[in-house]
Chains A and B, each alone.
Chain A
Amino acid sequence: GENVEQHPSTLSVQEGDSAVIKCTYSDSASNYFPWYKQELGKGPQLIIDIRSNVGEKKDQRIAVTLNKTAKHFSLHITETQPEDSAVYFCAATRGNYGQNFVFGPGTRLSVLP
């Protein structure tokens, strides 16, 4: 079935450095790729997303890149801050109309002061 792999599972960076999280998906019909940030004990919050007709999208310190041919997409966080520490999930749509997501297993990011 459809699958989304995510690496690394844990990532520690120094404050001010960049962080990169990578995901690979299996369903060639996937056309929407969101990234969620989840803080401890809370529900996930969307931080950025990208559609299959776009190769890159940026929102301040956060950017996402998509390579449809290789079926992978990446989250880039620059100038990391301690409040960026959280678990990040990538996802890809599945289903005839993209009504469902398949989620990656998550990356725990720690930004060290």
Chain B
Amino acid sequence: DGGITQSPKYLFRKEGQNVTLSCEQNLNHDAMYWYRQDPGQGLRLIYYSQIVNDFQKGDIAEGYSVSREKKESFPLTVTSAQKNPTAFYLCASRRARGGAANNEQFFGPGTRLTVL
């Protein structure tokens, strides 16, 4: 899992509550990503950030929010507006902001969120 930590590994929340998932990397990577994974589906991009204090919506950003105050940290908040939040959430990072030379994304171990 290469220098990316996600916590907690399992998270339970009551319907209507906001919850924040942690992602930290010590790889000195510029770009960071959040993906959602549901059974039988590929990874879907929620948000990404290519530089501190900047981030962009991915394909399924509704009901989620992020911040990027530090290079090594990219927390994801699942808000009560997310209608079906139960899923496996994966964080990833990439070395360079742009260019084809540094495309590889490294993934964390994931957080499994269950809404009760």
**Residue ID in chain A nearest B99 by CB atoms:** A97
The 7 closest A-B pairs by CB, nearest first: A103-B42, A97-B98, A43-B107, A32-B103, A103-B43, A105-B42, A43-B109
Could you tell me if B42 and A104 are in contact, using CB atoms closer than 8 angstroms? Answer: yes
Q: State A18–B58 Cα separation when bound (angstroms).
A: 36
Number of A-B contacts (CB under 8 A): 69
A17-34 contacts to B (CB < 8 Å): 31-32, 34
How far apart sit A41 and B31, CA to CA, in the bound complex (Å)?
24
Q: How many residues of B contact A (CB 8 A)?
A: 29
Binding site for B on A (CB under 8 A): 4, 6, 9, 31-32, 34, 36, 41-46, 49, 51, 89, 93, 96-101, 103-106
The reply to whether B90 and A51 form a contact with Cβ atoms under 8 Å apart is no
| B contacts, CB < 8 Å to A | 1, 4, 31, 33, 40-45, 48, 50, 58, 90, 92, 94, 97-100, 103-110, 112
Contact A44–B50 (Cβ < 8 Å): no
Could you tell me the distance between the alpha carbons of A25 and B45 in the complex, rounded to whole angstroms? Answer: 17
Contacts of A105 in B (CB 8 A): 40-42
User: What are 26 of the A-B contact pairs (CB < 8 Å)?
Assistant: A9-B40, A32-B100, A41-B110, A42-B1, A42-B109, A42-B110, A43-B90, A43-B107, A43-B109, A49-B103, A49-B104, A97-B97, A97-B99, A97-B100, A98-B98, A98-B99, A99-B31, A99-B48, A99-B50, A99-B94, A99-B97, A100-B45, A101-B43, A103-B44, A105-B40, A106-B41
Cβ contacts under 8 Å, A98 to chain B: 98-100, 103
Among B31, B42, B44, find the residue whose CB has the most chain A CB atoms closer than 10 A. B42
